[in-house]
Structure 1
Amino acid sequence: MLLHDYMENFARDMPDHHWAEMDGRVVTYSEADVLANRFANSLSASGITKGVRFAYLSRNSIEMAMMYFAASKVGAVPVPLNYRLAPREWLYIINDADSKALFIQDDFAEGIDSVRDELAVDHYILTRGARDGWATYDSWLGDDDSKPDVEVLPSDQLYQMYTSGTTGLPKGAMLSQSAIDNNLVMFSNGVDMRLGKERGLVVAPMYHAAAGVSLMMSGSRGGTIVIQEDFNPVNVVDALSNERITSVTLVPAMIQACLVAVPDIADRDFSELRFIGYGASPIAQETLKAAMGVFGCGFIQGFGMTETSAIVTILSAEDHERAVTGEPGLLASCGRPAVGTQVKIVDDDDNEVPRGTVGEIIVKGPQLMSGYWNLPEATDKALKSGWMHTGDAAYMEDDGYLYIKDRIKDMIVSGGENIYPTEIENALFEHEAVEDAAVIGIPSEQWGESVMAFVVLKEGQQLSADDVIEHCRPRLGGYKIPRKVEFLAEIPRNASGKVLKKDLREPYWEGVERRVG
């Protein structure tokens, strides 16, 4: 099915059922479908037609959730932006995607205006508030609520999410209608989603693949999404215990924050909560066991990446129960391949290795991206022979459970955010006192990993760790800024000049069993 088919079907069959709730506002399925039609027709009237891209920069909102379904109706392609990036990072993505319109919350207007002269955008719309030079959402949104007459195919692109490459330049992963629908089916096969009865809390940012699939999953089963604008552990626990929430998807840092920030969490009533989904970064087994004890619900881990529409493997609620009742080693696994997904572990020549042998994870299935936007060589490299090469190292046991060991690529995953060291290293090299630099991820109980920078100063120069951090602030999104800085006489390199990051990482990761989420 196409994404908007789900909304239209439930608008017909259960029109008064709640589709979304947020801060006291309720939108039923019939109301959501009308709003989606108005948004879709307004896109078309603005020249945002089938295959044309538009960017969306916002914290979580009902409008952002509805936007995915609306764009689907006319085949327009949303490009959700990470609001934690710096303005020049937004600039690159907006222009690279050839976005013809930009929707943003007023919080981000100042940042966009600082680079506006370099943008090639036809329409600037504020989703809330007012500002000179911007159309308001209400003035842009037309009254035509008729169903758009546009032929949209399963092979058409549903949205484009950007994921950085090892060079640090973001790449636009093109996800089709069929890829997302297949992923929804795969996840629903791994989770008992009751038709019209689920209430899912959406708190992870909607620009993330996992959050996007989470809200679409609810919409595909006639469920209700309860939206929070941003993550606040107290608000999350309050909602889980007071608003009849049946499911939520969190990154491990969020789970830990909930356990720490709410003193009476053990006394709360979570009897309606059926499962918590998690993934995107490593989680301490002690944290997971504590959370399972407090919330008393099923836990489900998903492993995947943007290029796979989110889900590749699932560690089910039953697997978690087995882990705490006699098979604790399962908690180190990210589960088994989702239905319809093939996973192999291969060597450098793409030969499959024996079970129990570490190699690279490659994935094949109907949920894979169509490719990277305007990057045919990168697409061919990532999707060799139809298999997505993840860059993650793992082994698979005879029973099909996958165990991730390390990262082949140097990507850092901090609080669910993907961070590429090259980008930070380039920012460090902009300082006139820096001779050499290298960046790694080190273990963090709170975030899974945090950014650490090694810096070599030019002769006669002096800098403090605080100086380095302050230098990075205007150049990088906040989550990319190093949390720790160490000064070295030289960066270790091999004979060809490549930085020996394994040597830099090892003292910090020694004794840590799982090194990637």
Structure 2
Amino acid sequence: MQPIDFLLRTANAFPHRIALEADDVSMTYGELARQVSALAAAFQDIDPVPGSRVAICAGNSVPHVVALMAVLAAGKTWVPLNPRSAGPELARIIDFTTPSILVFDEAHREQACYAVPAGTRRLVCGTSSAEPNSVAGLLVAWQGRVPRRQSRDLSDIQAIKFTGGTTGAPKGVMQSLRAWNATVVSILTAMQLQDDERYLAVASITHGTSTFLLPVFACGGTIVLASSTRPKSVLEQLESGRITATFMPPTLIYDLLDEPGVAKRDWSKLRHMVYAAAPMRADRIAQTIEVFGTLETSFGQTEAPAVIAFMPSIELRNSERHGSVGRATPLTEIGIMAPDGRLLPPGETGEIVVRGDLLMSGYWRQPEKTAETIVDGWLHTGDGGYLDREGFLYLKDRLRDVVISGGFNVYPTDVENALGKHPAVCRCAVFGVADPRWGEAVHAAVQLRPGTEVSADTLRGVVRARLGPVQTPKQIHFLDSLPLTANGKVSKQALRDQLANTDGKAHFPKETLAS
């Protein structure tokens, strides 16, 4: 079975159900399957080689979903291009993966086509034009056609996703058909999705949303594309659209919680509000559950997508679990490893390692990086953490993010959670700065809630009272806003750059610049 079969089976059984909604447009499973088949047949005509790459650079739209599903149906390899990336970066990825087809929408034509090889077929999507070099034109020309079924092994590559990581240039993560199948089954099992799901796609299809498309299609639910990512608009669509499930980073959830009147809205339909991509403060977890009635979390990486571990709402309601990201999903094994390769017992902190069907096949054309990351079948995540005796996983930051101050390990999330206890703190990030006395000094960047004030000394007192003097920031930087990555995480690299440019006293050691 191939990943696309999760969609095709539902389309065959329930052709009249609504598969996709966007603004005033809705598409049934039958129509979606027909468009996917026609475009997949066109892709095979353009390039008949099985497994060849198709790159897509577009915002969230119905044509984008159709194009992505067509890549799978054509037996090709999907290369998502982040539409927020600059032209030179996308050109580097295109040159590295050599796609034979490039699909882009008009809004991102400039960066997608920054430097495209002459042999790459360019197709614009999201237009009603019937010109040959458009998705719409191909759908008209190939209407009623179906692609040749490709005989593919489950170890064949379904996608090459680029991860910025924290160690330099992005790497192309090769995700196999087996890994995609494992992701779908793991999400279906962990979330217990139902046939009436209405999933609001807020995150980009090139990132988190792509992970949830096939699970929702597999259960016969509806993907609703967000009309806007502005907090007020998201709240309105969540409520009026009778949304049952969504995924978003903590930063967006914080913004939703801070919107006036959020607690007075009707959230009775919402069953799954999943956060991931970054840790969430304990106080905000409790607030989210109180306001929305639900909150779930998952832990994953591009190298092991989305659901290494999952925490359902019923478990997260226990305040003792607010620091955990859940337990291993059925097809995945989690271990905690010491630097010497020993697996550690419950309660001991080390590197989180993972094995199972969820794992990537390796990094595209980087065998040495693959060998460093997958050792004896275990994927080394680079994240620190521990397992308790019940199998719940607790994260303790990226190993390279740990601040070693005066010989003591300081975990930034611990300090961030302490700072977040003060009601004036909206967002915060903690990191290390080279210091002649301490080796590294703990620094914090803080964004305050509108209309509030608090001194650095007061915030330091909050941390000292909860964690002690070692973890207390030596310096607190107040910023109007904290820079975010495309995934909605606070970018500590951007913070360091910003503070280094505005504070001549700050010196950031080379080994921390890639965090």
TM-score bracket relative to the smaller structure: 0.7 to 0.9
Give the one of 284, 288, 300 matched to 1:287: 284
Q: Partner residue of 2:23?
A: 23
Distance 1:48 1:340 in 2: 34
Which residue is equivalent to 2:309?
Answer: 313
Measured after TM superposition, the shift of residue 136 of structure 1 is 2.9
Q: Deviations over 1:298-344 (max 9, x none)?
A: 321000101102210111212112x2xxxx23101111111121111
Cα 1:130–1:182, aligned 2, differ >3 Å: closer, same or farther?
closer
| Residue 229 to residue 305, structure 1, CA distance change in 2 (3 Å) | farther
CA–CA distance in 2 between the matches of 1:274 and 1:492? 43
Residue aligning to 2:257: 259
The answer to whether structure 1 residue 247 and structure 2 residue 245 are counterparts is yes
Structure 2 distance, partners of 1:356, 1:338, is 20
Match of 1:136 among 123, 129, 134: 134
Give the corresponding residue for 1:203: 202
How far apart are residue 166 of structure 1 and its match? 4.4
CA 1:381–1:4 in structure 2 vs 1: closer, same or farther (change >3 Å)?
Answer: same
Residue 489 of structure 1: CA displacement? 5.5
Distance 1:481 1:340 in 2: 36
CA distance in structure 1 between the partners assigned to 2:35 and 2:360 by the alignment: 29
TM-score (norm 2): 0.78
Q: Write the deviation string for residues 64-84 of structure 1: whole angstroms up to 9, x where unpaired.
A: 222332212221111111111
Q: What are the within-5 Å matches in structure 2 for residues 44-63 of structure 1?
A: 44-47=44-47, 49-63=49-63
1:106-125 equivalences under 5 Å are: 106-113=106-113, 115-116=114-115, 119=117, 121-125=119-123
Q: Which residue of 1 aligns with 2:266?
A: 269
CA separation of 1:446 and 1:109: change in aligned 2, threshold 3 A: farther
Residue 32 of structure 1 and its aligned partner are, at CA, apart by 0.4
Q: CA deviation at 1:48?
A: 5.8
3-state SS of 2:154 partner:
coil
Instruction: Report the Cα distance in structure 2 between the residues aligned to 1:2 and 1:441, rounded to whole angstroms.
Output: 48
Within the candidate set 346, 354, 358, 1:355 is matched to 346
Superposed CA offset, 1:196-239 (max 9, x none): 2111111111111x321111210111111101255221221112
State whether structure 2 residue 503 is matched by structure 1 residue 487: yes
Deviates more, 1:79-88 or 1:221-230: 221-230
Distance in 2 between residues matched to 1:78 and 1:93, nearest whole Å: 12
Residue identity matched to 2:356: G
The CA deviation string for residues 90-127 of structure 1, in whole angstroms up to 9 with x for no partner, is: 111111111122111111222344x32x6455111211
- The one of the two structures with greater contact order (alpha-carbon pairs below 8 A, sep at least 6) is 1
**What code does the residue aligned with 1:20 have?**
L
State the shift of 1:146 in Å: 2.9
Q: Is the 8 A contact 1:257 1:446 kept in 2?
A: no
CA–CA separation in structure 2 for the residues paired with 1:358 and 1:90: 38
Structure 2 residue identity aligned to 1:148: P
Q: CA deviation at 1:24?
A: 1.0
Q: Extract structure 1 runs of 4+ deviating beyond 6 A.
A: none
- Aligned-partner Cα distance in 1 for 2:137–2:299: 41
- Shifted more, 69-78 versus 249-258: the winner is 69-78
CA-CA distance at 1:145 after TM superposition: 3.0
* SS class of match (1:124): strand
Segment drifting more, 158-167 vs 480-489 = 480-489
Give, in whole Å, the separation in 2 of the partners of 1:353 and 1:151: 42
Give the Cα–Cα distance (whole angstroms) in 2 for the partners of residues 341 and 358 of structure 1.
20
Q: Deviations over 1:352-407 (max 9, x none)?
A: 12321211000001111111111111111111111110001111111211111121
Matched residue type, 2:30:
S
User: What residue is the counterpart of 2:160 in the other structure?
Assistant: 160
- CA offset at residue 129 of structure 1? 4.8
Which whole-Å CA distance do the structure 1 matches of 2:447 and 2:218 have between them?
A: 35
Letter aligned with residue 301 of structure 2: M
SS in 2 for 1:301: strand
Question: TM-score, normalized by length of structure 1?
Answer: 0.78
In the alignment, is residue 238 of structure 1 matched against residue 253 of structure 2? no
Paired residues, what number? 439
CA separation in 1, counterparts of 2:159 and 2:50? 12
Q: CA deviation at 1:255?
A: 0.6
- State the SS of the aligned residue for 2:400: coil
CA contact (8 A) 1:60 1:229 kept: no
Closer, same or farther: CA 129–70 of 1 in aligned 2, 3 Å: closer
Contact in 2 for aligned 1:48/1:76 (Cα 8 Å): no
Task: Give, as a single letter, the amino acid of the residue that structure 1 aligns with 2:290.
Answer: G
Tell me how far apart the structure 1 counterparts of residues 236 and 156 of structure 2 sit (CA, whole Å): 40
Specify the code of the residue in structure 2 equivalent to 1:153. D
Residues of 1 paired with 2:253 and 2:325: CA distance? 17
Structure 1: gaps (5+ residues) = 414-420, 422-437, 448-464, 466-477, 506-517
Aligned residue number for residue 471 of structure 1: none
Q: Which residue number corresponds to residue 374 of structure 1? A: 365
RMSD over equivalenced CA pairs, Å: 3.3
Provide the rounded CA distance (Å) in 2 between the counterparts of 1:172 and 1:501. Answer: 21
Distance across 2 between alignment mates of 1:276 and 1:71: 29
Q: Which runs of 5+ in 2 are unaligned?
A: 403-411, 414-430, 432-439, 450-476, 478-489
Q: CA, structure 1 residues 489+9, in 2 after alignment: closer, same or farther (shift >3 Å)?
A: closer
2:499 maps to a residue whose letter is K
CA distance in 1, matches of 2:378, 2:499: 37
Structure 1 pair 351/375, CA: closer, same or farther in 2 (3 Å)? same
**Partner residue, 1:468:** none
Match of 1:205, as an amino acid? S
Local SS of the residue matching 2:95 = helix
- Are the counterparts in 1 of residues 336 and 385 from structure 2 also a CA contact under 8 Å? yes
CA distance in structure 2 between the partners assigned to 1:363 and 1:170 by the alignment: 21
Q: Which amino acid aligns with 1:220?
A: A
SS in 1 for 2:278: coil
Partner of 2:455: none
**Corresponding residue of 2:329:** 338
Match for residue 473 of structure 1? none
Equivalent residues in 2 for 1:5-16, closer than 5 Å:
5-16=5-16
- Give the structure 1 partner of residue 214 of structure 2: 216
Cα-to-partner distance string for 1:249-303 (whole Å, 9 max, x where unaligned): 1110111111223x1222211111112111111212222222211112x321000
User: Is the 1:312–1:341 contact (alpha carbons within 8 Å) kept by the matching residues of 2?
Assistant: yes
Contact 2:352 2:381 in 1 (8 A): yes
Work out whether 1:38 is the aligned partner of 2:38: yes
The CA distance in 1 between the partners of 2:180 and 2:386, in whole Å, is 27
Identity fraction in percent: 28
Mapped to 2, the partners of 1:343 and 1:366 lie a distance apart of 12
Give the Cα separation in 2 of the matches to 1:179 and 1:51.
Answer: 16
Q: Using a 3 Å threshold, how does the CA distance of structure 1 residues 410 and 67 change in structure 2: closer, same or farther?
A: farther
Match of 2:224 among 223, 226, 237: 226
Aligned to 2:376, what secondary structure does the other structure show?
A: helix
1:105 matched to 2:121: no
Match of 2:303, SS?
Answer: helix
The one-letter amino acid of 2:206's match is Y
